[in-house]
Structures are given as structure tokens and as C-alpha cells.
Chains A and B, each alone.
Chain A
């Protein structure tokens, strides 16, 4: 018989079976009656000897069925009906689960999109960032990006490597576009030959920049980003072949990159090809990011070895000019440390996201504990129903399975609702997330998110279903039938599971509250740090760049900037103005060079420590609110008089000469042909890389200082202090003022210092808010959990308490008794939570600032807060217990 005929004839089979069994019983009864037994007795005897009629008949039928599937469908129907009939329980449980799942799915979506998914390049696993470090180069340890590549390194690697399919160097920059609408500053990416080939993303329109476009003195060509193409050219395909004026120089557009394409993590408007003159390159100039595509099957370690092999070739092939020792870089101990491009993009965000994911997962556990509690209460209440089912022939396994199916169904329904909520949650996270979070634009739900939701739903269903189901699995059918809903004495053992759940919830909630507490302390600590500027919301800043093609002569550049300052200062409501090569935390790549002090001895081949250097104008310090620690501020007279003077940061002064005042009058310079510059002033330390990073040692040159390349500082940040900062009318006035000096100058990165500060704090605030939300949910769920359990215990002990009161117990004693029980559970939970917290908070050390991961104040205050809240939660049921009317309590039974 095949399965199809089985399916058709199943009814017949079942009918035959029942008829046959009935016939069996009839025959037996007849026979017993014939032997002289009464008909009633005979029927009982026949039934007894036959065994469990319903169960055996079902087993007989099961032979023909697919029992697992059919029983499952039955369980499903039964479970649905059970849920439908207790709507309050179902709604509360569903709400708890779905909110928990929604929070988890939202965060997982971000984790998945940012950390787990491959980058949007073809065969992205082959892409690496050419990261290298130079532990021997003093000062370089401060480099965010390690030792970047120099153009000569790029040529060496490109020509001699054995492990790469292609490689190139790139760097972000700015350029002014004129002739389209108003002058506009755009974000550019400078690329060498090989960069586009390495990413291997085909252009949306036109063609890539090719080798012929990188020839010095050759044709000037560019590519556009998709966004810029849409914005400025309306997405017209005839754009290929048109010219665009970049820094006053016409360039031909050859292609457009597709939407969403980024250079590693950099957005851009225009791609500009480098045209290095290979013959004129020196060793130095370490300012370029390297990217490469590994040959198939090549591991990063092999590529590292390959680059290490090429470093001597590089030193042999190039020099820093006559009379210099090319092998001086051996003292730098350059080590290639290639990173997968994904790792480069993600940076240290992984840690932050995993901490957030971990805290949210704990919330899920607490939610599961709450639902477990609800289910436990429900199973107790359903003892009778279950006992009846068991008496009717349901096997224990069957009932346990039924309960599990019910909780799994709850989990899945929660998952469904949670998925919907998560959709909104992801929107919230994207809006909330720091704008400098990498791959923010790629965040979306996908198949993996769905799989995660399903898994989470099933797992949580299993988790909160298992304990009630297993507890039921202990045989006590008889007693349940007998007691019939009357609660006889409630054994201690019956509360054990619930007590454990409460302790667990308290412990987990405490861990999250500790994390939140530490983040709050971090936030407080950060607020007290002096970043090196003051009253940030009244500081308007903007970047203005004066290309050589617009104004060639250095002194005229400075005079133009000076003129702009004068015009800006004349705007109504402006207190003071100044400019600087960049403000702290602006995210502009910093410049570094060796700095020699006149009164220090540098042995022959040694390279002096690298120092960050900046430029600033007179008035900048007063405008920004940066303090002068010693000496005096520079003047326009110093600048136009080409006086060899310099200012330095307090930390550098202390390092070189012990005290700020000792530094004044000392001399330093960058390289041997540069005249010695006198230190005239010492400036307070500024938090260049963000409040949580230590302030670097900085040398402040004057504009027009005798400089190797170009004495003019062509791109600077103008800083204006005004109560009108950030307002529309003020920005119009500012623009007018700038254009009255030169109408070809676009304003870029127009913002207040408060924006800059907030952006730099974004990760800390994001972590704080996320952990705060998780902790708040944990606290709420935990309190509800304690309250629920204490209420249940009190209602179960109603009879006992009634008797106690009847026997003369004081109401105060009853109150105390219940409170003590709740407090005991909480204190145990808190103790465990503190122990776990000591380990957990260490994981977030990198997110903390100015507070130890084991900060006793946080631990103490959070613990006492939780105990206080828990005691309050117990107080309500305790008061109810105290007010029991002994007569009612006893009569109720």
C-alpha cells in the first residue's frame, strides 16, 4: 500500500479498528457473562484486561499516520486554543517577547550590516589596506593610521611585488569647483593608477581613469561620483567628454562611478588622478593610503613578507636628496601590517557594537525569565486540566510536548511582531547612530536577519517553555486531580524555580545597570575635560581653500586671508575672529614633521621625534578660547616681518624644557637648512583627536614661515565668535563678507564648534543611550519580575498568612516577613550581579573614560538603587498580605 491509498483509505482503516476493538470487548463480555458474571462486572473486567482503550486505539491508528506531523498539528491547534482562551496572559507574554526580540533584531541588523556582511566590492575578501607601522620612529606612535605610504613606496611596491594583482594609493582632499553654479568646495579623492582596478567596480557611465590619465603633463581628466553627477549634471549621460573647472583648471570628465561606491570609508564628489613624476620622487612623503588586491589564495602573512622584502629595494632605489642617507629609515623599523579592507573600514566599532549586542541579549534573557515565570504560574493553574488530559490517556511526553509547542508558538508569534517592531527600531538606530559609524548607509534587513529572528524566537520559546514543561513532567497526576484547585500547603520546592529566576533577573539587570552607570560616569568625566576651546555653540567655523591656480603668490594668499578676517570681524555681532590650519576634532588629517631643538644633541643618523604641527593666525586663541600659558601671542607684524618665531603646546614645552616658562626664548627648527625659530609663547594643550584622546604635542608655525613647499597655508579653518553663530542670516553675512574679498572662494564644512564636539562625542553618546535603554528595559522587566513573583507567593500563602494572623501575629511582622523574603532574593541577585559585573565591565574598558571599570562608587550606588527599587516592588504585595482578613483568607479555602 502506498502512502496515497493510505491517505484515502485511512478513515476506513480507523473505522475497522474501532469496530474490531468493540467486537473484542463484546465477545469477552459475553463470555464472562456466560461464565456467570454480572454484566456490569464483566464490562469492568473486560476493560481492565484490555488496557488503556483510548491510548491503544490511538497507537493503532498511529501506525498508519505520520504521527509526528499529525500530533504536532493537533498540539498546535490545542496550543492556539489555550492561548486564545487566556488573552491577558497571551498579550502580556507576547508584548514582553516581541519587545525583547525587536530590540535584539534591531541591534543585530546593525551588527550584521556593519560587521558581518562583506564589503560592496567584487571578491572583497581579496582586498587589503596596506597598513604599516614604524615603532622606531618617535612620535609616530600617535599616528592614527600607522605609517602611510609615500609615492616612492607605491612605485616600489607596484613594480616589485609578487603577491598582489593590483595596488594603488589614494588620499582624500578638497577642491573648488567654479563655473557651474556658485563656487563650491567639493570632496575629492586623489588616486594613483591601480586604485580603481583594485576595487574593480565598473563605472556607471563612461570609463575608469587609466594609466594614460596619470602621466605628468598629460591630459587633465576626472571621474564623478554618482551623487555629484545627479546633483550637478542631473544624471545626464552626455556628461562624458564635458569639462569641469577644478581649482581654476579645466578637466575632462571621463566617467561616473556607480551609486553607493566609496573609497574604503570615504565619500567623495570627484576622483582626481595623481600624476607622479617618478624620476623626481624622494623617499619621504608618507601621506597616502594604500589599497591592494591579493592574488587568489595569497594570505596576508605572505603579502606582509613580500612588502618586508621590498623595503630595502625601496631604500636602494630612491633617496631624500644628495648627502642624505637613504637607509636612515632602517632605524624606523618599518613593519608591514596589512589589514583586510573590511577590518580597516570597521575599525574599532566592532567592540562598541558587540557590547551593545551583549547588553541587549541580556535584556532578552531577562524577558525570557519573566515569561517563564508567567508560564510557571499558568502551568500551576492548569494542573487540573493537564491531569484530566493525562487521565484520558495522554502520555506524559505528549503533554510536555504540547506545552513546549505552546511556548514555541508564543516565541514565534513574538518573533513575528518583533520583526515588525524591529523595522522601526532599525530606523531609530540609524537616526541615533553616530554619523561617523562606518557603513551606516548599508544597514538593512536581509535573509540573515530573518534567520536570526527565527532562531531567536525558537530559542527563546524553548528557553521559557522548558522549565515549566520539565517541572510538569514529574508525576503527580493523582494529587492534582484530588486537590482540585484547592491549594494545599505550598512546598518550598515549588518556589525554587521561581526564586532562581528572580535571582537571575536581578543579577542580569544589575550588570546592565552597572554598564549604564559607568557610561554615565564616563559622560560626566568627559564634560569636565577642557578641550582647548570654550563656549562651543557660539563658535562658527568654516574651511576656505585658496588654490595656487587662483592666487599663486604666498604672501598674497595670507593677505587675502587677513582681508577675509577683517571683513568677518566687521559683521554685526562678531566678537573676534581668527584662522587655524584646523580646529580640534575636525577630523582633518594632521601634519607631522621632525622637530629639532637647538639646545639638544641629535646623534648623526637619528631622526628627531615627529611632532604634529599646525598654523594659526593672531586672534585665533582669543576667539577659540584657548589659553596662553606662557610668553606672548604672535602678531601680524611677526608674520609680515618674516620673523623666525614659533609657538608650542604646553605638553611639548614640558617634555623638552621642563616648564612652559623655561621654553620661552628657546629655539627649534624642522630641518637643517631652516633658520632656528624662537619660541615666543606656550599654548594650552588641545584635545586634537577628541576629548577622550590625550592631547598631542604641537608646534604652531606662523603663516608665511619659511617652509619647504609653499609658505602660504592655502586651506584653513576660519573661526568666528558670535552670539549669532549658526543662524541663517549670520551665514549669509559671512558668505557675503568672504565673497566681497574674492567671489571665487567657496565655504566648506560650515558648522559650529558645538557640532564638531557633538560629532566627536557621538560614539560615546550612542553607547550611553543604547546601554541606557537596555538598562532601563532590564530594570523595568526585573522589577515586574520581582513584583510578579512576590505577588504570586503572597497569594499562595494567603491561607498560611491568614492562620498566622488569626493566631495573633502582628500585621507588622507579616509585612516584615514578606519584605525579608523579597530582599533576600534581591541581595543574592545583587551579589551575583556584582561578581559577574566585575568581569563584564572589563570588556568595555575601551569605551570608558576617566572612570575605572571597577569604579566602587558606581558599583555601590547602582547596587543600592536596585535593592531599593526591588524592596519597593515587594512592598505592594507585602502590604496586601498584611491586610488579609484572616476570616476571609481561611474561608476562601
Chain B
């Protein structure tokens, strides 16, 4: 029960990371989970499963699309790729996230001014 509260850093963060990962290359769910875990150096405690509701949300908003295909290990998997709308959405989200981060950093930085 308590894990649930740690699922996201903030609403939309997980989606943003998924979109960013998919921008580089289309992936299936398991690979996506492994990639995010690896690249974040396990700093973010994300339940692997929480990826799926997020993916469903993105599918519904048509920011990603999915196709059944075969993985490198020869399994039947669903491969997600970014749509055009998804790419634009990512860009918007990242820039607004950066602005927010910037703002937070300034406030947190030791005050010189």
C-alpha cells in the first residue's frame, strides 16, 4: 500500500520519462522498464507494473502507438513508438519541466543576490 504513494515523483513524470525513452527508439514494455531503471541508476523507485497504466493513458491520448511484434529474444511483445503528437507533447512537457526545475533550483540555491 505504501509503495503506491511513491509511484510518481509528480503527476506526469513517469509519462514524460516514457516518452523521452521512446523518442530514441521504439521499445516493448519490459525493455522500457529496464531502460528507465538502468538509466536512473535505480534512484527512482518505480514499480515495474506502474508502467502499464501510464502506457494505457498515453495510448488513449494517442501520444504513443503500439503494435504486436517479436522481440530480440524472440517473444511476442507489444512494441510502443512515439507518435507525432507524442513528440510535440514531450517537447512541451520537457521545456515546462525545465522551467520549473530552474525556478526550484534558484530558490534552493544559497542566496547571493
A1 and B60 within 8 A (CB): yes
**Which one, B48, B57, B76, contacts A23 given CB within 8 A?**
B76
CA distance A52 to B5 in the complex (A): 13
Distance of B84 from chain A, by nearest CB (Å):
16
User: What's the tally of chain B residues with a CB closer than 8 Å to chain A?
Assistant: 26
Known pairs A20-B77, A20-B78, A51-B47; A59 contacts B53 (CB<8 A): yes
Distance of B60 from chain A, by nearest CB (Å):
5
B61 (CB) vs chain A CBs: closest residue: A63
Cβ contacts under 8 Å, A20 to chain B: 29, 52, 77-78
B52 and A57 within 8 A (CB): yes
Task: Type the 1/0 row for B59-76, where 1 means its CB is closer than 8 Å to any CB of A.
Answer: 110100010100101011
A23 and B56 within 8 A (CB): no
CA distance A13 to B4 in the complex (A): 24
A-B contact pairs, 15 of them (CB 8 A): A13-B56, A23-B75, A27-B71, A49-B48, A50-B48, A51-B3, A51-B48, A51-B49, A52-B47, A52-B49, A56-B49, A56-B52, A57-B52, A63-B56, A64-B60
B77 (CB) vs chain A CBs: closest residue: A23
Distance of A8 from chain B, by nearest CB (Å):
15
CA distance A50 to B76 in the complex (A): 19
Task: Name B's A-contacting residues (CB within 8 A).
Answer: 3-4, 28-30, 33, 47-50, 52-53, 55-57, 59-60, 62, 66, 68, 71, 73, 75-78
B56 and A17 within 8 A (CB): yes
B29 and A24 within 8 A (CB): yes
Known pairs A20-B29, A56-B47; A27 contacts B73 (CB<8 A): yes
**Which one, A21, A28, A49, A64, contacts B52 given CB within 8 A?**
A21
CA distance A365 to B59 in the complex (A): 50
Known pairs A16-B78, A21-B49, A50-B47; A60 contacts B56 (CB<8 A): yes
Task: Name A's B-contacting residues (CB within 8 A).
Answer: 1, 13, 16-17, 19-21, 23-24, 26-28, 30, 49-53, 55-57, 59-64
Distance of A150 from chain B, by nearest CB (Å):
79
A49 and B47 within 8 A (CB): yes
B30 and A23 within 8 A (CB): yes
A55 (CB) vs chain B CBs: closest residue: B4
Please name 15 further chain A to chain B contacts, defined as beta carbons within 8 Å, in addition to the given A52-B4, A56-B47, sorted by A numbering: A16-B78, A17-B52, A19-B78, A20-B52, A27-B75, A49-B47, A49-B48, A50-B47, A52-B47, A52-B49, A57-B52, A59-B53, A60-B52, A61-B56, A64-B56
**Which one, A1, A16, A23, A63, contacts B53 given CB within 8 A?**
A63
Distance of B39 from chain A, by nearest CB (Å):
17
Nearest 3 Cβ contacts at the A-B interface: A51-B47, A56-B49, A51-B49
CA distance A56 to B49 in the complex (A): 6
Cβ contacts under 8 Å, B59 to chain A: 63
B50 and A56 within 8 A (CB): yes
B57 (CB) vs chain A CBs: closest residue: A63
CA distance A440 to B55 in the complex (A): 66
Cβ contacts under 8 Å, B56 to chain A: 13, 17, 60-61, 63-64
A57 (CB) vs chain B CBs: closest residue: B52
CA distance A892 to B73 in the complex (A): 60
CA distance A62 to B50 in the complex (A): 13
Distance of A230 from chain B, by nearest CB (Å):
69
CA distance A53 to B49 in the complex (A): 7
CA distance A508 to B82 in the complex (A): 66
B60 (CB) vs chain A CBs: closest residue: A63
A61 (CB) vs chain B CBs: closest residue: B56
Distance of A338 from chain B, by nearest CB (Å):
62
A14 (CB) vs chain B CBs: closest residue: B56
CA distance A19 to B53 in the complex (A): 14
Distance of A473 from chain B, by nearest CB (Å):
13
A56 (CB) vs chain B CBs: closest residue: B49
A24 and B47 within 8 A (CB): no
CA distance A584 to B53 in the complex (A): 83
B30 and A51 within 8 A (CB): no
A26 and B75 within 8 A (CB): yes
CA distance A51 to B49 in the complex (A): 6
CA distance A55 to B47 in the complex (A): 12
A59 (CB) vs chain B CBs: closest residue: B53
Distance of A135 from chain B, by nearest CB (Å):
72
**Which one, A16, A19, A24, contacts B48 given CB within 8 A?**
A24
CA distance A224 to B48 in the complex (A): 87
Cβ contacts under 8 Å, A17 to chain B: 52, 56
CA distance A13 to B68 in the complex (A): 12
Distance of B11 from chain A, by nearest CB (Å):
14
Most buried by A among B30, B52, B77: B52
Cβ contacts under 8 Å, B55 to chain A: 60
CA distance A28 to B60 in the complex (A): 26
Cβ contacts under 8 Å, A56 to chain B: 47, 49-50, 52-53
Distance of B82 from chain A, by nearest CB (Å):
18
Cβ contacts under 8 Å, A13 to chain B: 56
Distance of A20 from chain B, by nearest CB (Å):
5
Cβ contacts under 8 Å, B47 to chain A: 49-52, 56
CA distance A49 to B30 in the complex (A): 12
A30 (CB) vs chain B CBs: closest residue: B73
Distance of A685 from chain B, by nearest CB (Å):
80
CA distance A16 to B34 in the complex (A): 20
CA distance A288 to B16 in the complex (A): 84
Cβ contacts under 8 Å, A49 to chain B: 47-48
CA distance A763 to B71 in the complex (A): 87
B29 and A51 within 8 A (CB): no
A28 and B49 within 8 A (CB): no
CA distance A544 to B59 in the complex (A): 92
A28 and B30 within 8 A (CB): yes
CA distance A16 to B49 in the complex (A): 15
A27 and B49 within 8 A (CB): no
CA distance A52 to B1 in the complex (A): 9
Distance of A67 from chain B, by nearest CB (Å):
11
Cβ contacts under 8 Å, A53 to chain B: 49
CA distance A50 to B50 in the complex (A): 8
Most buried by B among A20, A28, A49: A20
Cβ contacts under 8 Å, A21 to chain B: 29, 49, 52
A24 and B30 within 8 A (CB): yes
Cβ contacts under 8 Å, A23 to chain B: 28-30, 75-78
Cβ contacts under 8 Å, B66 to chain A: 16
CA distance A20 to B28 in the complex (A): 9
CA distance A559 to B4 in the complex (A): 103
Cβ contacts under 8 Å, B28 to chain A: 23
Distance of B33 from chain A, by nearest CB (Å):
7
B7 (CB) vs chain A CBs: closest residue: A51
CA distance A17 to B52 in the complex (A): 8
B76 (CB) vs chain A CBs: closest residue: A23
Cβ contacts under 8 Å, A24 to chain B: 29-30, 33, 48, 52
Cβ contacts under 8 Å, A19 to chain B: 78
CA distance A51 to B29 in the complex (A): 15
Distance of A78 from chain B, by nearest CB (Å):
21
B52 (CB) vs chain A CBs: closest residue: A60
CA distance A60 to B68 in the complex (A): 18
Cβ contacts under 8 Å, B50 to chain A: 51, 56
CA distance A15 to B3 in the complex (A): 26
A63 (CB) vs chain B CBs: closest residue: B56
